[in-house]
Amino acid sequence: MLLRRHVRCLAAMLSLCAPGFAQSAAPHYFSVPGADAPELARRGTHAVGVRTLELVHAGQVDILKFDRETGKAPLYDRPLTVEVWYPATLPAGQQEQTVYTSPLPGNNPAGGAKTFETAGKALRDAPPEKGQSFPLVVVSHGYPGSRTFLSYLTENLASKGYVVVAIDHTDSVFGAVKGFQSTLLNRSADQLFTLEAMEKLAAAPDHFLHGVLDASRAAIVGYSMGGYGALASGGAGYSAASGIARMVPGGYYSKWIAGSPEFTGLRHDNLKAIVAIAPWGAQPPQNAWDKAGLAGIRVPSLFIDGDQDDISDYAAGVKPAFEGAVNSDRWLLVYENARHNVGGNPPPPEALGEFNTQESFDEPVWRKDRIAAINQHFITAFLDLQLKGDAGRRAYLDVPVVRSNDGAWPVTRGERTGASYSPGAGKEGHTYWKGFQRRWALGLQMHHLAPAGKP
């Protein structure tokens, strides 16, 4: 009798828990922020489609085949696989669901690289939304990385009315890494070529992005080595005296060197803004840019980094690069006590079994889903301002106090703010960062510097 009663109680408990189990089995999408995310992080109103395209950048220098005897390298047609997210129309009965597969960092494909999967909230090959055109955002991963490494951001931006194109940078992809000289020489070239290639493709009447993509309003978002490229794409010529200039043989780096006869500065009129997340290269001993080189950035820029970044070196690299971009209207978002991994997706379960893989994704102090949500919030504000002309977004960037911890949100006795977002400065005594819930803007800094000669 007692046993039967115990079994019945256990069955009742399991039946009550069953909905919870069903919910936990549902896919978790990195592009869908949690309830504690700041205001602009939430996904937009557009359904999202995704397609894979193969691009070819013809006639490029194959620097990894440089012949020291002749002092020359052959040319080749450089392949680039890109993933394209875009506002879409969902056919009846279809849902935004896909899976992205990528090798785990540190694995050699010849030895059978282990892969991991990321659930995507996008419909593969969905028909694009018609009736309006959307700005272009080119996304560039680190060394190594992959075109889906920032899917938390790419899907999220597409849902807000952007066409987002993320590059698999040849020779820099997880499981297929080759000599570093290729990344140094090709990173900015890949970004600018992709911008141009997408504009040409969308101009064709039979292309799926025809009438959908407005490439005249474009931005580049780069993480780590992608940030190294983004600064150059934005106009920063590399220094001839830098450590990296000596890494690329044969004089093939000269067209990227500030002051050289081949250097032209900003190379595409459509590029209106850049986002550099933990950009590599400004730190000693590389010192990729001097003052004259950084002054070449004339488009608005958003820098993002952790103040404990020991890869790109926040104190000696990223912060001086931000300060040195004197002709750019620029912002610097700082995660206090964060290191370098402030750009990519949160870690997949497959990365958690070994420290060597987990440290490629995770942070020692910060929750990665929290970083993802904050990035979604501020990058949305920045791109909406620069590419869509939404002047109201500036209030999210021009925060009333530099350190979020110093923001004040006075409440009366017994008052509860709940999940409401701060309206920003305005009400007497209110200096809390706009778009954050009370008590939740913590551990952040936002710096803003206007272009030279402007207040």
pLDDT, one tens digit per residue, over 149-189 is 999 999 999 999 999 999 999 999 999 999 999 999 999 99
Three-class SS state of 134: strand
Asked if residues 224 and 169 have their Cβ atoms less than 8 Å apart, the reply is: no
Indicate the average pLDDT of the chain.
Answer: 92
pLDDT of residue 455: 72
* Mean pLDDT value across residues 49-63: 98
Structural tokens at position 367: 């929750």
pLDDT at 12 over 60: no
CB within 8 A of 75, min separation 6: which ones?
59, 60, 61, 62
- Which fold is adopted by the domain 39-397? Rossmann fold (3.40.50)
pLDDT of residue 77: 98
Domain-wise residue ranges, the chain: 39-397
Percentage of residues in the chain having pLDDT higher than 90: 83
pLDDT of residue 25: 56
CB within 8 A of 311, min separation 6: which ones?
224, 278, 280, 339, 340
Q: What is the pTM of this model?
A: 0.93
CA angle in degrees (0–180, nearest 5) for 220-221-224: 125
